[in-house]
Amino acid sequence: MPLDLDELDRRILTELQQDASQSLDDIARKVSSSKTPVWNRIRKLRKAGIIVRDTVLLDPEALGLEACFFVLVRTSAHEADWQARFLQAVRARPEVMEAHRLAGDIDYILKVRVPNARAYDRFYQALISEVTIHNVTALLSMEEIKFTTEMPLEHTKS
H helices within the chain, ranges in order? 7-18, 24-30, 35-47, 80-92, 117-130
Span(s) in the chain for CATH 1.10.10.10: 5-46
To the question of pTM greater than 0.75 for the whole model, the response is yes
pLDDT at 3: 79
Give the tens place of pLDDT for each residue, 70-111: 999 999 888 999 999 999 999 999 999 999 999 999 999 999
pLDDT at 157: 67
- The β-bridge relationship of strands 67-74 and 108-114 is antiparallel
pLDDT at 156: 73
Fold of 5-46: Arc Repressor Mutant, subunit A (1.10.10)
CA distance 70 to 96: 10
Span(s) in the chain for CATH 3.30.70.920: 59-139
pLDDT at 89: 97
Q: What is the CATH number of domain 59-139?
A: 3.30.70.920
pLDDT at 51: 97
Residues in the chain with pLDDT values less than 70: 1, 157-158
* Order of strands across the sheet that contains 67-74: 96-101, 108-114, 67-74, 135-140
In a 13 Å sphere around the CA of 91, the CA atoms on its Cβ side amount to: 6
pLDDT above 70 as % of the chain: 97
